[in-house]
Structure 1
Amino acid sequence: MTLQRPDKARAVVGITSNRLLVDGVHRDWLRRKYVKALLHHAGVACVILPTIDAEDASVETARAIMRTLDGLVLTGDESNVDPAILRAPASCPGPDQQDIEIGIRDRPRDRLSGVAIRNAIAQGMPILGICRGLQELNVYFGGTLRSSLSAWSLGSGQMHAEKTDRPRDRQYDVAHSIRVCPDGALFPIARTVEAQVNSLHNQGIEVLASALRREAWAPDGLVEAVSVVGAPTLQIAVQWHPEWHASTDLLSKRLFTAFGEACVAYAEQRSTRGGQ
């Protein structure tokens, strides 16, 4: 169900993009599934946030952009998080290291996420992290990631891995169950203590950051959802991809709706403060 609100009251959220390097040309890109889910099920307008190069990480344009937003979405991606870069966006890797390697690393995205999370937390705005976005939030607050779920447990690797033998749309079908904490931030949204989710990732949370609360977990114990402790609004992240089947999956639809409502409430509060 799309939120029906006047255009002037519609919240605007920033969505993290990724860096693509083809034939020596840098491009920022984003899957349309996120935009469609946010538009139709969160009822918000979207701004795509550009990735950040090392020499631009200290420029304050990102902060200026973030001050105009009513929410932040940390999207998924195949690349792995570089904790050192995400926690210190202005730092540079060694000269012999590539910033971008398809499916392995995307440091311009890490810089963007580090800057965006810092500003979103400082401003107390709603946050929705998805897949890589959950891992980014954990790393930002000092948690650690398992570099390979297959190395941790063969069964876990099989449970959570991308199903490359299936058509792309079917790769996002349900893969396993989750248990939802009955007294957390996710339960009022999910309205159930057990649900079914998709799963397409090789890394996962190893040590949960102390600033985060576990909201849901998989049968193997892997953290599947977290929230920011003491957050003034909805600041939550999930390991699965709710954007893919948001029109037909009830949990996904409820998650986007709740996020949209939090963003609209934040926008209204900003309006009463004169946009500050």
Structure 2
Amino acid sequence: MTRRPETAVRVGITARLARGDAHALGARRKDLLGAESGLVNSVCEAGALPLVLPWPRGLDAAVARHRAHAAADAIDALIVQGGADVAPELFGEKPLRPEWAGDADRDRYEIALVERVLAQGKPVLGICRGCQLLNVVFGGSLHQDLSLQREGSIVHSNPVVYEAHTHAVRLASGGLVATLHGRERGDVASAHHQGIARLGAGLVAEAWCVDDDLIEAVRTDAGWAVGVQWHPELHADDAALLDRLPLFAALVARAAA
């Protein structure tokens, strides 16, 4: 493949929806598609150019897929960031509650995007929802809600404190994530209520929650695709948590190579 004249690696970041509030002032009334600033900053600090990829609303499935493929063709690496639940229908279940139904437009777009990027041999980093989506793409399933469906699960999300809600993870000895961090244990920011149930074929577990043994990170056994259930982009201001940059730097280095 012929390289573009630009030297910066182009990292696509799937957009996250911030729903508008009809009672708010100004732009906050409207739905916004964007990326958490810590995520954008992390990509920049890793030496790459972040490009937010907003997913289209209400398009025909074929058109949405074409848009996703065009976006994949324009980037060197992909980050699937957190946000709405992954729709249970994608792993053969019905939503246990209406609010866990997911977002069909986002799911459709991101699945097409991930499949295209993987087929092109470009690296992928899935964060929180992105880790779960990667598992579903590879045929795995999810717990729709850990507290309801997984006996012994700790609380993995506390929206009141959000990024300050943390727990310890155990990293697979000799695994990719442990090698990147140079350690086999660390604390992470946790903000999710879904989680991996059945691991997808072609994925390898890379980390587990110390307190309840939930899978917290995965990688593909071929190519370079990594999913982490935690939020490394939220670790910038807390030295007690795993360093946020190794994952982003590894993604960019793989794309550059």
TM-score, normalised via structure 1 length: 0.77
Q: CA deviation at 1:138?
A: 0.5
Q: What code does the residue aligned with 2:167 have?
A: H
| Equivalences, count | 238
1:46 equivalent in alignment to 2:50: yes
Distance in 2, matches of 1:29 and 1:254, equals 23
Deviations 1:22-71 (A, max 9, x none): 4596542332221111111x211011112134534312232122112110
Q: CA deviation at 1:151?
A: 1.4
Could you tell me whether the CA contact under 8 Å between 1:146 and 1:204 is conserved in 2?
A: yes
TM-score, normalised via structure 2 length: 0.82
1:259 equivalent in alignment to 2:251: yes
Q: CA deviation at 1:152?
A: 3.4
Could you tell me whether the CA contact under 8 Å between 2:71 and 2:113 is conserved in 1?
A: no
In structure 2, the partner of 1:238 is 228
Distance in 2, matches of 1:84 and 1:153, equals 19
Alignment of 1:142-181 (within 5 A): 142-153=139-150, 156-158=153-155, 160-164=156-160, 166=161, 171-173=162-164, 175-181=166-172
Q: What code does the residue aligned with 1:150 have?
A: S
Q: CA deviation at 1:107?
A: 2.1
Q: Classify the secondary structure of the residue corresponding to 1:224.
A: strand
Which residue, out of 211, 217, 224, partners 1:225? 217
Q: Classify the secondary structure of the residue corresponding to 1:230.
A: coil
Q: Any stretches of 5+ residues in structure 1 without a counterpart?
A: 1-6, 88-96, 266-276
Distance in 1, matches of 2:150 and 2:137, equals 25
Deviations 1:86-124 (A, max 9, x none): 99xxxxxxxxx9xxx878632222122111111111101
Q: CA deviation at 1:250?
A: 4.7
Q: Which deviates more, 214-223 or 17-26?
A: 17-26
Distance change in 2, residues 1:154/1:199 (3 Å): farther
Alignment of 1:112-131 (within 5 A): 112-131=109-128
In structure 2, the partner of 1:65 is 71
Q: Classify the secondary structure of the residue corresponding to 1:197.
A: strand
Distance in 2, matches of 1:103 and 1:139, equals 16
* Higher RCO (C-alpha 8 Å, min separation 6): 1
Distance in 1, matches of 2:143 and 2:99, equals 19
Distance in 2, matches of 1:238 and 1:46, equals 19
Q: Any stretches of 5+ residues in structure 2 without a counterpart?
A: 23-28
Distance change in 2, residues 1:86/1:143 (3 Å): closer
Could you tell me whether the CA contact under 8 Å between 1:174 and 1:196 is conserved in 2?
A: no
Identity of aligned residues (%): 33
Q: Classify the secondary structure of the residue corresponding to 2:206.
A: strand
Q: Classify the secondary structure of the residue corresponding to 1:46.
A: strand
Which residue, out of 85, 93, 97, partners 1:80? 85
Distance in 2, matches of 1:194 and 1:113, equals 31
Distance in 2, matches of 1:125 and 1:177, equals 30
Q: Classify the secondary structure of the residue corresponding to 1:138.
A: helix
RMSD: 2.7
